[in-house]
Amino acid sequence: MQKKWVLKQNVDELKVKALADSLNISMPLARLLVIRGITTFFEAKKFFRPSLENLYDPFLFPEMNKAAMRIIKAIADQEKIFIYGDYDVDGACAASLMYLFLKELDADVEFYIPNRLTDGYGLAKNALDLIKSKGASLIITVDCGITGLEEAEYAKELNIDLIISDHHQPSSKLPEAYAIIDPLLPNCDYPFKYLSGAGVAFKIAQAIAKKIGKNNMPFKYLDLVAIANAADIVNLTDENRTLTQKGIELIRTNPRPGIQALIDISGLDISNLTSAQIVFSIAPRINAVGRLGEATPAIELFITNDKEEAKKYAQILENENANRRKIDEATFSQAVSLLEKSFDLERQKVIILHNDDWHAGVIGIVASRLVEKYYRPAIMLTTIDGVAKGSARSINGFNIYQALKDCEDLLLQFGGHEAAAGVSIEIGKIDELRNRLNAIADQYFNKKKLQPELEIESQLSFNEITPKFIRVLDQFSPYGPGNMKPVFLTENVIVASQPKIVGSNHLLLTLKQPKSAKVFDAIGYNLGHFIEDISKDTALDIVYSIETITKDGKNFPQFKLKDLRFSLIYSEK
């Protein structure tokens, strides 16, 4: 689908000029900062040099003191503590962090990760029975629990104290737990609302460490927070930027055995690890075990100190990911076939597909791929125990959680956030849900809004891309929501040599610009279809980000093409 190019407007150019002067950087770089809300020297310093000293006080959570004291008492009295996590990357990282932290304090602690296929998401009563049978008197949830009303009540009946730590949106009624730590609670004064599940677990560890006079103790677990933050696509500004940058730094310099093994099997260079590599290479391998069955091997990978054991668990994750990809491809192919045979995409703005036999572990991925292909919100459903259960994914601007909330009377269960949600519904009500959601979408969308937009932050000429420019640009990472990788527009570039196709369908170009001696390589992933119309001396306008690649031990900038058009203003003059 053709993208609409949108150059950021309404940027205060006076602020850009003042910031460029105070930092001694170029105008395009200063523009990037102003777009991110950074307008002074001191704000820029905080952005470029995040410090752990600037982390917020964990006791700003209303019930943090109560939670920390209960956990400290459980450790002192050698009570059996269970960490109850989730089966995704964030849940696995959060559970591993909390387990390792409490283990270091000599707690009697175990972990439980629900099975996606048999337990479902969040707290499960059968799991609570099992945990009680093992003698637990305290459960700490991580990355789940905020919507577990019945389960919290059941834990109370079992005489188990329940501390819920979560980062998801609470419903109007809260579970009756011993304490709840969630930045999205209505009465929560914690200033940063975008922590991951592992981020919330870290804040609990930080609170306990402060209570016992070991303030720096939790920092050794920031590697797990960084992986969770990147994988869960949380906002990477403010506190999350600090946690993620310090965590990636820790992975690069002192990786725990499991992370080293995972990076090795992924074929990555640990010294240059990026948040994007975590998202696209590391996270799918961790997620795979939880998607297809038991997520426990992911926890075992993170908590082991044995290098050989770490390699064994990394191989399990690798094998499961390969299996997951096969199932993913088959399911996506079936979904596209069903969609194009049976649905009118001109009329239907929300895709809802159901198949009894689809694997529950991959339908979220497939929903994301359908969104990417058709640029529409998508819900993929399978059948579990006679009920349709599945995953929803949305496009920019359409709040899928709110849309589902408006259809709450049709649903057995739902939860999530603006971009993604889980949903359960009786099979007989799927058609009605489809009609209702499409009616909501009709009110929200028009044809213009259903065209994907490519946001561009700044125009750039080749002469502005200097070694200093690249050095400063590299310091904008780690990238993620709230601080996406900068996207540039350069008009009137010339193809300097015959273009090539590399890999499966990737376009490789060498580009120059009139009035500039500089030449840059560019790669356009999945843009190979353009090669029929491009040859040496073709004039293009390009939208791209800039990466640093290593050749023969030296670093070079390379453009990663987002889109291109044929230029109408070519001139050698």
pLDDT tens digits for range 413-428: 888 778 889 999 999 9
Residue with tokens 């389960």: 151
Count other C-beta atoms under 10 Å from residue 159's C-beta.
Answer: 8
DSSP letters spanning 112-166: E---TTTT-SS--HHHHHHHHHTTEEEEEEES--TT-HHHHHHHHHTT-EEEEE-
* Listed range (211-225, 273-287, 405-419, 424-438) with the worst mean pLDDT: 405-419
Residue 573 belongs to some domain of the structure: no
User: In 441-483, at which residue ranges do the beta strands (DSSP E only) sit?
Assistant: 453-456, 458-459
User: Are 440 and 463 members of one domain?
Assistant: no
User: Are 117 and 207 members of one domain?
Assistant: yes
Mean pLDDT of 210-232: 97
Last residue of a domain, one of 254, 289, 309: 254
Query: Which pLDDT belongs to residue 293?
Result: 77
Tell me the torsion sign for CA atoms 144, 389, 416, 288.
positive
Give the residue numbers spanning the domain of 116. 53-254
CATH number at residue 247: 3.90.1640.30
User: Are 440 and 465 members of one domain?
Assistant: no
User: Are 92 and 236 members of one domain?
Assistant: yes
User: Are 350 and 473 members of one domain?
Assistant: no
pLDDT in tens, 483-537: 999 999 999 999 999 999 998 899 999 999 988 899 999 999 999 999 999 999 9
Residue with tokens 């992911």: 298
Edge-first strand order for the sheet with 420-425 is 351-354, 378-384, 387-393, 420-425, 411-416
pLDDT in tens, 31-45: 999 999 999 999 999
User: Are 366 and 383 members of one domain?
Assistant: yes
Residue 163 belongs to some domain of the structure: yes
Mean pLDDT of 217-242: 96
What percent of the chain clears pLDDT 90, i.e. is strictly above it? Answer: 84
**3-state class of 436 per DSSP?**
helix
Count other C-beta atoms under 10 Å from residue 13's C-beta.
Answer: 11
Considering its fold, how many domains does the chain have in total? Answer: 3
pLDDT-derived band at 573 (thresholds 50, 70, 90) equals very low
Question: Residue 344, exposed/middle/buried by CB under 10 A (0-12, 13-18, 19+)?
Answer: exposed
User: Are 112 and 228 members of one domain?
Assistant: yes
Mean pLDDT of 371-379: 93
User: Are 512 and 437 members of one domain?
Assistant: no
Mean pLDDT of 59-69: 98
Residue 28 belongs to some domain of the structure: no
Mean pLDDT of 243-261: 98
Residue 327 belongs to some domain of the structure: no
Residue 498 belongs to some domain of the structure: yes
Mean pLDDT of 193-222: 98
User: Are 516 and 465 members of one domain?
Assistant: yes
Query: Which pLDDT belongs to residue 415?
Result: 80
**Residue among 182, 166, 195 at smallest CA distance from 62:** 182
Residue 162 belongs to some domain of the structure: yes
pLDDT in tens, 311-346: 999 999 999 999 999 999 999 999 999 999 888 887
**CA separation (Å) from 211 to 140, 220, 300, 397?**
18, 18, 29, 42
User: Are 481 and 371 members of one domain?
Assistant: no
Query: Which pLDDT belongs to residue 141?
Result: 98
pLDDT in tens, 289-301: 988 878 999 999 9
User: Are 250 and 186 members of one domain?
Assistant: yes
Residue 276 belongs to some domain of the structure: no
Report the predicted TM-score, pTM, of the whole model to 2 decimal places: 0.91
Residue 264 belongs to some domain of the structure: no
Last residue of a domain, one of 200, 235, 254: 254
Last residue of a domain, one of 254, 282, 316: 254
Count other C-beta atoms under 10 Å from residue 403's C-beta.
Answer: 20
Query: Which pLDDT belongs to residue 553?
Result: 79
What does the mean pLDDT of the chain come to? 94
**Strand pairing class (80-84; 108-112):** parallel
Mean pLDDT of 179-204: 97
CATH number at residue 350: 3.10.310.30
Mean pLDDT of 74-89: 96
Under a CB-based contact definition with an 8 Å cutoff, are residues 180 and 152 in contact?
Answer: no
Mean pLDDT of 299-316: 97
Q: Which residue has the higher pLDDT, 569 or 474?
A: 474
Query: Which pLDDT belongs to residue 448?
Result: 60
User: Are 421 and 475 members of one domain?
Assistant: no
